[in-house]
Structure 1
Amino acid sequence: MTVPLSILDLAPVPTGSSTATALRNTIDLARRAEAAGYHRYWLAEHHLAPGVASSAPTVLIGQVAAATTRIRVGSGAVQLGHRTPLATVEEFGTIDALHPGRIDLGIGRSGGRPPATATDTTAPATARAVGGLLIPPPFTPGDLLRSPRFAAHATLLRQPGATTPPFTEQIDDLTALLAGTYRTADGIELHATPGEGADVELWLLGSSGGESARVAGALGLPFAANYHVSPGTVLAAVDAYRAAFRPSARLTEPYLMVSADVLVADDTATARRLAEPYGLWVRSIRTGDGAIAYPTPEQAAAHAWTDADRTLVADRLDTRFVGTPEAVTDRLHTLQKVTGADELLVTTITHDHADRVRSHDLLARAWY
């Protein structure tokens, strides 16, 4: 089955470039994605990372929506632990008022925490193949969670003394504000303007069989599972979502999107050369340094890898889909078949913008 393809963009900043160029490249890629037939264009939320410019996804969503006409535009994902439901509804309501019927509100539960945790015991601890799809052991982020830099991020992302309410309460408040049914505990009606009645498509995103997957299912919302971030727990996320699903006014049956990290080129050798910096970039994230400016293939080749380095990033490298259009589409079809995805969300990072554009273009041609 050929399902729709969508794009997740981090607005990567390559070495030797600037955030302004990265943001202009995002607008350019969105226009090209629309022309190529992609269904959605989502912007990620990352903070304090020299190599990622998408720290304000709502601003970028408005810019991308203004630069396109058909493609759906949204967040992958707004991290609700960093903001209030009211602020989120007002921001997306504003964008929807200007670009009605095209905006997706993708919500993530994380407040800066890595997607897979050491307490996630739903996936086996050894690599396995399921229907031809590699499922590596789950990443355990213990060292990252203890990083002083990680703690500093949390300090800047929240007001002093602020605490994040339970996720289910936040989602209840958000949906009530969108529907115009919000009431305080003592019965006061409050209405978000803009926001109330906005025609946004609400999604939840998750990387494990945890709360996000269960809440999405229980509320009958569409769900996006992260194979590209946490391939070791993707099947647990998918299973938890389906097990919890209850029909809603929005959906009578589950609707699942699964992400994948891809890089497509005209030949295998070129694809592998362009993919060389990815491991070094992932290493920078998982060591707590934050995403570095994306290296050139030559810079990556010069890195002296240790066994510990390779182990740290192995799951992400082994599950990235790199190669010719035919090879990558074959692997994407396997991902779709094994997970039962109704849609695939692909993300691609290269040092040169032209190579990223070319990758998405070649994939769309081969897929459709």
Structure 2
Amino acid sequence: MTIPLSILDLSPISAGSTARDALRNTVDLAQQAERWGYRRYWLAEHHFVRVASSAPTTLLGLLAAATESIRLGTAAVQLGHHTSASVVEAFGTIDALYPGRLDLGLGRSGHRGDQFRTAGVPPVPPAPDRGTEVRDGVVIPPVFTPGRLLDTSRLAAGLATLTLPGAQSLPYGEQVREIQALLDGTYTAGDGVELHAVPGEGADVQLWLFGSSGGESAQLAGELGLPFAANYHVSPGTILETVEAYKAAFRPSQRLPRPYLVVSADVVVAEDDARAQHLASSYGHWVYSIRSGAGAAEYLDPDTAPPLTDQQRRLVDDRVTTQFVGSPGSVAERLAALQQLTGADELVITSVTHDHRDRLDSHRLLAREWGLTHVRAA
């Protein structure tokens, strides 16, 4: 049986276009994804860069109004920038009007802000000393560590701006449990006073955790019996450790009797391999803008983008070599290998191209090849 496919969207802004264009494209893609049989449509959260998904919960409400049945969610709310109550009340508001369709995805981003502000990049464990491997047809590159980022000053400034002066984030695990309690109606403040989120308490939302390593997010998702999304497209070098940590830590819960794993992949599909390779040729430039410290730039037109230098290529090689690029058949074959290797119950696809029509075609062609539904041209 073919596993479900879902979509992760960053609302990318292409060179020569605007945030308004990107948001309209997101609404259009969500509507088409529903027609084509994708299970979920998730929105990322990014700030002070050239993507338009800085307010995913607001956008989520707009997508709920523009669609009918596809599940919608965040991938993920950066908890370090939000209080538990604001998250629960926002999702509760949308669920009150469009019940039973929301995935509340939570991530750790923002919880290390003080370390970035005061000491640059936080210490990270040394990466395993290994070269690129191919496991059952899946590329597993060397682990990329934050210490290789060229400049963290912009990241530090952004984190500082997103935090009120003097405010401190709760520990990640504590905040996840606080959100659970607010949704369940069991929350008690520090002074013993019961508080009830209205709307929010009792909302029919599914809680998810997201992670790119075998660390706290994967282990916490397992311990709490929550579904988990492992980010192969962000950190392909750690995917096996991430999956193993989640499954090893999993304890059945009232919500979930067995692990439920989603694995992400970055994809560009076209009618043939050559066309797909051309459309994806400016992807490395986009990743380089992120890893250089400048933040995600406008997505360049492959017809005019200059070649990457050797130094630029080295910084992004793990992401470029693990992007799934090609004809529908070749990409579907590689995705099937990723699913088999990780044991994923579902794959979530992110696709960025300069032209919105090419992005639509990428998702449409893959949906048809994967057998989601009878898919017509947009």
TM (norm. structure 1) is 0.96
Amino acid at match of 1:89: V
Q: Which residue of 1 aligns with 2:167?
A: 162
The within-5 A match list for 1:265-344 is 265-300=270-305, 302-303=306-307, 305-344=308-347
1:190-244 CA deviation, whole Å, 9 max, x = no partner? 0101100000000000000000000000000000000000000111110000010
* In 2: Cα distance, 1:118 partner to 1:339 partner: 28
Q: Which residue of 1 aligns with 2:363?
A: 360
1:64-101 CA deviation, whole Å, 9 max, x = no partner? 11111010000010000111111100011111111100
**1:243 lines up with 2:212 in the alignment:** no
Show structure 1 runs of 4+ deviating over 2 A: 116-126, 143-146
Q: Which residue of 2 aligns with 1:105?
A: 104
Q: Which residue of 2 aligns with 1:37?
A: 37
**1:56 lines up with 2:59 in the alignment:** no
Q: CA RMSD in A?
A: 1.6
Q: CA deviation at 1:33?
A: 0.3
Q: CA deviation at 1:186?
A: 2.8
Match of 1:206 among 211, 215, 218: 211
* In 2: Cα distance, 1:120 partner to 1:176 partner: 33
Q: Is the 8 Å Cα contact of residues 285 and 291 (structure 1) preserved in structure 2?
A: yes
**1:132 lines up with 2:132 in the alignment:** no
**1:80 lines up with 2:79 in the alignment:** yes
Amino acid at match of 1:91: A
* In 2: Cα distance, 1:284 partner to 1:146 partner: 11
Q: Is the 8 Å Cα contact of residues 151 and 292 (structure 2) preserved in structure 1?
A: no
User: The residue matched to 2:149 in structure 1 has which SS?
Assistant: helix
Q: Is the 8 Å Cα contact of residues 325 and 363 (structure 1) preserved in structure 2?
A: yes
**1:191 lines up with 2:196 in the alignment:** yes
Q: CA deviation at 1:110?
A: 1.3
Q: Is the 8 Å Cα contact of residues 107 and 217 (structure 2) preserved in structure 1?
A: yes
* In 2: Cα distance, 1:154 partner to 1:103 partner: 27
1:342-368 CA deviation, whole Å, 9 max, x = no partner? 000000000000000000000000001
Q: Which residue of 2 aligns with 1:6?
A: 6
* In 1: Cα distance, 2:299 partner to 2:65 partner: 27
Amino acid at match of 1:328: V
* In 2: Cα distance, 1:280 partner to 1:5 partner: 27
Aligned pair count reads 364
Q: CA deviation at 1:144?
A: 2.9
* In 2: Cα distance, 1:234 partner to 1:335 partner: 10
Distance 1:112 1:328, change over 3 A: farther
* In 2: Cα distance, 1:12 partner to 1:55 partner: 11
Q: CA deviation at 1:126?
A: 2.2
Q: Is the 8 Å Cα contact of residues 127 and 144 (structure 2) preserved in structure 1?
A: no
**1:141 lines up with 2:150 in the alignment:** no
Q: Is the 8 Å Cα contact of residues 117 and 139 (structure 1) preserved in structure 2?
A: no
Match of 2:353 among 344, 350, 354: 350
User: The residue matched to 1:7 in structure 2 has which SS?
Assistant: strand
> 5+ unaligned residues in a row in structure 2: which ranges?
114-120, 372-378
Q: Is the 8 Å Cα contact of residues 124 and 147 (structure 2) preserved in structure 1?
A: no
* In 1: Cα distance, 2:191 partner to 2:99 partner: 34
User: The residue matched to 1:13 in structure 2 has which SS?
Assistant: coil
Q: CA deviation at 1:294?
A: 0.6
Q: Which residue of 1 aligns with 2:222?
A: 217
Q: Is the 8 Å Cα contact of residues 136 and 341 (structure 2) preserved in structure 1?
A: yes
* In 2: Cα distance, 1:326 partner to 1:180 partner: 48
User: The residue matched to 2:245 in structure 1 has which SS?
Assistant: helix
Q: CA deviation at 1:119?
A: 2.2
User: The residue matched to 1:163 in structure 2 has which SS?
Assistant: coil
> 5+ unaligned residues in a row in structure 1: which ranges?
none
User: The residue matched to 2:6 in structure 1 has which SS?
Assistant: strand
Amino acid at match of 1:326: G
Q: Is the 8 Å Cα contact of residues 122 and 209 (structure 1) preserved in structure 2?
A: no
Amino acid at match of 1:339: T
Which deviates the most, 191-200 or 134-143?
A: 134-143
Amino acid at match of 1:272: Q
Q: Is the 8 Å Cα contact of residues 127 and 143 (structure 2) preserved in structure 1?
A: no
Q: Is the 8 Å Cα contact of residues 93 and 195 (structure 1) preserved in structure 2?
A: yes
* In 2: Cα distance, 1:46 partner to 1:310 partner: 24
Q: Is the 8 Å Cα contact of residues 6 and 38 (structure 1) preserved in structure 2?
A: yes
Distance 1:20 1:169, change over 3 A: same
User: The residue matched to 1:233 in structure 2 has which SS?
Assistant: helix
Q: CA deviation at 1:142?
A: 1.5
1:249-307 CA deviation, whole Å, 9 max, x = no partner? 0111100000000000001111011001100000000000011111000232x24x332
Q: CA deviation at 1:118?
A: 6.2
**1:95 lines up with 2:90 in the alignment:** no
State percent identity of aligned pairs. Answer: 60
